[in-house]
Structure 1
């Protein structure tokens, strides 16, 4: 599948995005938001899966200002250390602006029906929540987003469907944080929070250290239903 180039909205340059097209168009689009490991094999595979469901999938390189083309795995301590270095240096608000630019670009691409949402994992799950509160995306899906309990002051900005998949045993989202998220979003008719019992962070990354086939299948089914409803 090809890569395309997107212009940053702040005029600072351009960045690459992995693009996967469905068999049939017109179709809705999904901006797939990377983990801390960059646009690696796992993110490209997830984008291909989204395209296989019948949507345009586009996964932008959000670390481009730090190091373009990062492709790490969770297979070694060195890669984990580098991934956390990148995450800590990453300007999340710039990332949201790049995601908005990607959303705008894909909406006018040939083959897009004009509707587009986001789906993010880990760091991307946090950014998907930020897109729910700060953008006009037609839906937003967060897989094991980190630090969302610290963003709840913006919850009134959620006006489109938001789906949160949370791992009960997530090492990066303790029970107190999970309960705060559930309570904070309980009154919002646009937000649905699902907790998956007994699984850890990254339970939906096939081949990853915490992969859980049952939880991933249930979560992905809910994802597919929302995408079909929101994006056509």
Structure 2
């Protein structure tokens, strides 16, 4: 379903994984676009599968390969060593700003390809980038999952419809942080689930089928309302 394309942003040129819906709307016109933001593991098998899923729902979906700024072909698994490796990449000075610039380019790329409205979703570190897209960019909606860096950017205010998803068993994101976000941003939909960090990834031990299903149902309803 997907193909690799090139994406030019203010941060430089990178690759991206593009998934196209097949006849999901009249004249094959996508009902909208979705930018899918990677975890710290790159645009790996799981992120491609998520991107393909959004395409199966009628969206033109694009996952930028942020790690191409460092080296092409970085796709990591879920071991302690690869977790440390991925964290090392995203913690490099200026890397978050590059990811936000790449996300802006991805939004524009989807519009160029026929998406009238574009949503952004992301997971783990990608959840943080999704939050920054809501506060710094102008997508049409954002649905972010368990972004550990959101609390650090909690004083930034989203300017677009935004929802967030957290696991209440997540040792990386205490519920005190989640509840603080609720108080600071009453207009943001914030959901928590009886699940751990990474609950949406069915390739991780922390995957929670019920939480993942409910969160995605909410995401699809949200995008259906604000994106198409």
TM-score grouping bracket, smaller chain normalisation:
over 0.9
Shift of 1:29: 0.5
Aligned equivalents of 1:69, 1:179: Cα separation in 2? 38
Aligned equivalents of 1:159, 1:79: Cα separation in 2? 34
2:21 corresponding residue in structure 1: 22
- TM-score for both structures, normalised by structure 2: 0.93
Runs of 4+ in 1 over 3 A off after TM superposition: none
1:151 corresponding residue in structure 2: 153
- TM-score for both structures, normalised by structure 1: 0.91
Root-mean-square deviation over aligned CA pairs: 1.2
Report whether the alignment pairs 1:171 with 2:167. no
Report whether the alignment pairs 1:41 with 2:42. no
1:113 corresponding residue in structure 2: 115
The gaps in structure 1 that reach 5 residues or longer are: none
1:89 corresponding residue in structure 2: 92
2:191 corresponding residue in structure 1: 194
Aligned equivalents of 1:207, 1:63: Cα separation in 2? 20
Aligned equivalents of 1:214, 1:220: Cα separation in 2? 10
Shift of 1:3: 0.5
User: May I ask how many residue pairs the two structures share in their alignment?
Assistant: 221
Q: How has the CA–CA distance of structure 1 residues 113 and 101 changed in structure 2, closer, same or farther, with 3 Å as cutoff?
A: closer
Give secondary structure in 2 for the equivalent of 1:36: coil
- Choose the corresponding residue for 2:200, options 188, 204, 228: 204
Q: Which piece of structure 1 moves more, 89-98 or 133-142?
A: 89-98
Aligned equivalents of 1:140, 1:214: Cα separation in 2? 22
Aligned equivalents of 1:195, 1:183: Cα separation in 2? 15
2:215 corresponding residue in structure 1: 219
Q: Deviations over 1:88-147 (max 9, x none)?
A: 1161111101110111111111xx232111000000000000000011100011011112
The gaps in structure 2 that reach 5 residues or longer are: none
- Choose the corresponding residue for 1:52, options 51, 56, 60: 56
Aligned equivalents of 1:169, 1:77: Cα separation in 2? 19
2:226 corresponding residue in structure 1: 230
Aligned equivalents of 1:220, 1:23: Cα separation in 2? 21
Shift of 1:151: 1.1
Aligned equivalents of 1:147, 1:78: Cα separation in 2? 21
